[in-house]
Chain A
């Protein structure tokens, strides 16, 4: 007999609201550093509500998108193998809902100077 593979966290209003940030390309840590704990960048918004992300030496301009189809974030309980083509196996919990994404599609504008101002 097979246990149900997904259980939802209980109670109305118990689900957190997260945000999705969509970037072009891949996320790679700076050489020699672990991903966990490392900085991605600073996220600002203009007064008009345009998101601006400063990542390394790049400035990315994006837009706030209300998702037509929201996402549920599933968190695996107790580390297990990756989802197989047949479908996710193992226990998952719905942890959060995502209704908004910050989409950064524009080509990054490089910051010309490489020298950060010392404080």
Chain B
């Protein structure tokens, strides 16, 4: 093998045979040969989207995530990308230590023979496309063992289906920032290093403690003191849980005196109470529901149907009108499957009704309108624009 490389004399001889004039060439030459592992297929190419190159150069990591049955995704610290093989009809050789003309022109030792070994070659590379993080699995994992409160014996047993941050990072096809953000969105909390979701009944129990206290103390809903809540409720529930429920259903702030208060989210509280009512039956008479609902929420709060977007659906075509629970997080994550599911539930949707159930499918800079154009067919029904499936429903 010619690992010792060609000599200057051999290079000049080749130039002469090729009838190339050395005077028209830069003095340096790269003699390219295949390195020892070139044919082994151990190297592959990943085409980088804007920003990723800078991240790598800054020393930050990229991670490929996916179990064998999942389509692999690539994650930076805050974004997720789908990976796809792109074929090229050409051959791509990757060469370490190969200089460009600019680099050679600034080289202090100009006239030399550079022996460059080709590290590998390929006729394809991985392409990236920014995608929505696949976060449905996160809720599914945390729902395997929801936290039911400290009294339940269950909580002292195995930690088999409990997940730390590291566990979640290795199982969820999303970037770390996207995962941490979603944990906040779903009101997860860390109990002894494990991320937990509260069981709904326990969550309502905690919320009820707080709203009853607000009522009995006649506090303003926008100024609920943390200190007093902990004092009054600390004997009933763990302090961390009292603070957690306040954080979940309120906005924390500190006044000039350094005291911590919460401004309660009226909409979120009303919504939770609606869920509590609706989950007990398949559907409800709308007007009866609205009456019971308003009576069930804390003094000073006003219920409105638009608080229930993505949680419940009103059927205005039935007599009497009805309402039933339909949670967007229970629907498929894949766009086509989501639309199939929605059209299976209702044949024709208005844009107002369907938007809460497809909003999360929008890619960066994509609108709900664009999604509807692509996945639905538009028609008119009694003077109103409605959307139905593009395909026959089986």
Contacts and interface: CB of A to CB of B under 8 A. Distances in A.
Contacts of B31: 39, 41-43
Contacts of A69: 47-50
Interface in B153-188: 167, 169-171
Interface string A27-41: 101000011111111
- Range of interface residues on B (Cβ < 8 Å): 35 or more
A111 B64 contact: no
Contacts of B58: 12
Nearest to A66: B100
B59 A7 contact: no
B260 interface: no
A101 B100 CA distance: 9
A37 B34 contact: yes
Given A15-B56, A86-B66, A88-B126, A96 B91 contact: no
Contact of B44 (A14, A83, A99): A83
Nearest to B34: A35
Q: Pick from A8, A72, A100 the residue with the most CB of B within 10 Å.
A: A72
B64 A36 contact: no
Given A18-B96, A97-B53, 7 more contacts: A5-B65, A19-B99, A23-B90, A27-B93, A37-B33, A39-B6, A88-B44
28 contacts: A5-B63, A5-B65, A5-B66, A12-B57, A16-B96, A21-B93, A21-B95, A21-B118, A25-B91, A26-B123, A36-B34, A36-B36, A36-B37, A37-B2, A38-B2, A39-B32, A40-B33, A42-B11, A44-B20, A44-B26, A44-B29, A45-B104, A71-B48, A73-B43, A73-B46, A74-B43, A116-B13, A116-B17
- A-B residue pairs, 8 tightest by C-beta: A87-B72, A37-B1, A49-B101, A5-B64, A19-B98, A43-B30, A6-B64, A12-B59
